[in-house]
Structure 1
Amino acid sequence: MTVLRYTVPPENDGCRLGLFLRMQGVTAGLIKSVKYDGDGFFADDRAIRTNEPVHTGQCIRFALPPERETSVVPQPVPFSVAYEDAFAAVLDKPAGIAVHPTLNYPDGTLANGWLYRLHQQGKDGIFRPVNRIDKNTSGLVLCAQNAFAAPLLAGSARKCYLAIVEGTMPLGPGRIEAPIARRGDSIIGRCVRADGKYSLTEYTVLAAGHGHSLVACIPRTGRTHQIRVHMAHIGHPLAGDSLYGGSDKMIARHALHCGIICFAHPLTAKIVRVESALPADMTALAEAENLLQGWTLTQLPCE
């Protein structure tokens, strides 16, 4: 059971409990759940209602209510855990595994694997991904461990992707600001179109070979297939990305990897940075094109 505690500072003396909790980042939905599904709120050792005032020096505490049941079936699925504490977990997903069950992928997903891991540890819980990546994109997925952490992680998470694109690009930074819309000839495809949603990708070309370039991409908006669409739009589709004009001769899936995630810890607000090295298939292509020199993950920004 996770118990949260807050000490009331002088500037919040006399503030109603409900407002005080909202100022600490506790959502209205969680406050309601603690009231009706949990054990309620306490000021020091006394039960307190949300419309009562709090006072300087009081310790306000409450236990997070039990998790709701999930329909996801626990199944062994390959992934690794890059970071974990009571509030956040960062999972490193191989390419070829969907993040959560869908009509096309009802099982064998990262969600199934996470529930299996919890059950193996004798724990209950649900799968709360803060960011989602495509089935054939590899790399880091940030998950909230409870309802308190979820909105705080969602609001602070930043990601840096590594992409191998076709063509030789000039080294250094760039940005692609182009609206993205659904593509009429495809159920899943997207395209740049004037009536699309505003989309911005910032990138840095880290290395360039004769036929491919390695690019670090930070999506400032969260559109479906954003990096893939934007890079194809400027004439540099991802290697292996046949949906958007890339060739699959040298790699069997689109060459995109979520290599860095940064987030503010929900409890301490301290910035946590988690990294994941290029997987074997992208490493092999990068080595063949001499794209691994002159940069390291730790040097790349993720803000």
Structure 2
Amino acid sequence: MAAEEQITLTIDQESGRLDAVLGQANLPYSRSTLSAWIKDGAVLVNDKKVKRSYTVKAGDVITINPPAVQETALEAENIPLDIVYEDDDLLVVNKPQGMVVHPAPGHFGGTLVNALMYHAPLSTINGEFRPGIVHRIDRDTSGLLMVAKNDQAHHALAEELKAHKTQRIYYALVKGNFNENEGTVDAPIGRHPKDRKKQAVVAGGRDAVTHFKVLERFNGYTLLQLALETGRTHQIRVHLAYIGHPVVGDAVYGHQDRIVNIKLPGQLLHAKTLVLTQPTTHEELRFDSELPDLFEKVLEGLRANQAGKLDN
């Protein structure tokens, strides 16, 4: 693949370290990416390779030569996708429960990334095994994901996500009943002290905030709407288990895999709504998705049980 176009900047006055100057120059690349390029010699000052700590001076001409995009070693696979939206910069997909988002040990094929590679070009920011992936949801969580088709779009979407401007609304069916109608779980999350495959609320963990609102109450179960303020691994599942209301079907964090005589393949957690800013036009885009059929079937069963108890 061809490299992106060269960028040239002329400095008006002494401005500080080279990596800091470029990081604040409103370029379509992150500071970490630019810093790596300086180290690799893809950024020159007055046609010479310099260190990241070089002090930029008035009159300096900075030339940025973005490296050519390398073809990934992963295989594109013709796997059907539920594409909710697509333009030149991004696409939004509705991921089914059970599909792994990106390749990892034990899952090098059949992932969302393999399917996306067959469908469209993807950004390269996250490296060979996660092209295009701005954020992820767990294998057994269904719902909406945004995917970047080029590096500039990826940077813009990632920055918006980091600034907590992207809205992500989830629906979850959880065990137990709530006295309150809404609330917030603000508890730090880190690696589980005894099981490294799990996350947990731990002292010294990373800040994690989840807002919840009760949508529907059943006998012993509650349907919640959840909004993420942060995006830690397994955040919703960990927070809900922490407050004593594990997600139904979540075998890892503590709930049975059967409800209303239906065996569940995973947790009833769905990324229902996604609101983001289009990277080029800056238009607000809002997407909503239907709950999966299995999720709806469980809710119908709970409603029928509830109605039966009320009739009696």
- TM above 0.5: yes
Q: Which residue of 1 aligns with 2:143?
A: 139
Mean CA deviation greater in 88-97 or 72-81: 72-81
1:264 aligns to 2:277 (yes or no): yes
Q: Which residue of 2 aligns with 1:90?
A: 92
Matched residues in 2 for 1:191 and 1:152: separation? 30
Alpha-carbon deviation of 1:78?
Answer: 3.4
**Contact 2:100/2:111 (CA < 8 Å) preserved in 1?**
yes
Alpha-carbon deviation of 1:275?
Answer: 1.3
1:240 pairs, out of 235, 239, 249, with: 249
Q: Which residue of 1 aligns with 2:307?
A: none
1:254 aligns to 2:267 (yes or no): yes
What pairs up with 1:152-231 in 2 under 5 angstroms? Answer: 152-156=156-160, 157-170=166-179, 172-231=181-240
* Alpha-carbon RMSD: 3.3
Alpha-carbon deviation of 1:238?
Answer: 0.3
Alpha-carbon deviation of 1:187?
Answer: 2.9
Matched residues in 1 for 2:122 and 2:250: separation? 38
Matched residues in 1 for 2:303 and 2:69: separation? 48
**Contact 1:115/1:125 (CA < 8 Å) preserved in 2?**
no
Q: Which residue of 2 aligns with 1:47?
A: none
TM-score, structure 1 length as denominator?
Answer: 0.74
Cα displacement string for residues 248-273 of structure 1 (whole angstroms, at most 9, x for unaligned residues): 11223111111111111111222111
> What 5-or-longer segments of structure 2 have no aligned partner?
6-11, 44-58, 125-130, 161-165, 305-312
Cα displacement string for residues 63-106 of structure 1 (whole angstroms, at most 9, x for unaligned residues): x9864311221112232111111111111110111100000211
The secondary structure found in structure 2 opposite 1:244 is: coil
Alpha-carbon deviation of 1:171?
Answer: 5.9
Q: Which residue of 1 aligns with 2:155?
A: 151
TM-score, structure 2 length as denominator?
Answer: 0.72
The secondary structure found in structure 2 opposite 1:245 is: coil
**Change in 2 beyond 3 A, CA 1:72/1:208:** same
**Contact 1:78/1:94 (CA < 8 Å) preserved in 2?**
no
**Change in 2 beyond 3 A, CA 1:67/1:287:** farther
**Contact 1:25/1:152 (CA < 8 Å) preserved in 2?**
no
**Contact 1:30/1:147 (CA < 8 Å) preserved in 2?**
no
Q: Which residue of 1 aligns with 2:111?
A: 109
**Contact 1:181/1:191 (CA < 8 Å) preserved in 2?**
yes
**Change in 2 beyond 3 A, CA 1:198/1:281:** same
**Change in 2 beyond 3 A, CA 1:225/1:125:** closer
Matched residues in 1 for 2:75 and 2:22: separation? 38
Q: Which residue of 2 aligns with 1:287?
A: 300
**Contact 1:171/1:206 (CA < 8 Å) preserved in 2?**
no
**Contact 1:177/1:201 (CA < 8 Å) preserved in 2?**
yes
Matched residues in 2 for 1:30 and 1:72: separation? 25
**Change in 2 beyond 3 A, CA 1:271/1:124:** closer
**Contact 1:172/1:204 (CA < 8 Å) preserved in 2?**
yes
Percent of counterpart pairs with the same letter?
31
1:130 pairs, out of 128, 134, 157, with: 134
The secondary structure found in structure 2 opposite 1:230 is: helix
**Change in 2 beyond 3 A, CA 1:166/1:21:** closer
**Contact 1:211/1:289 (CA < 8 Å) preserved in 2?**
no
The secondary structure found in structure 1 opposite 2:204 is: coil
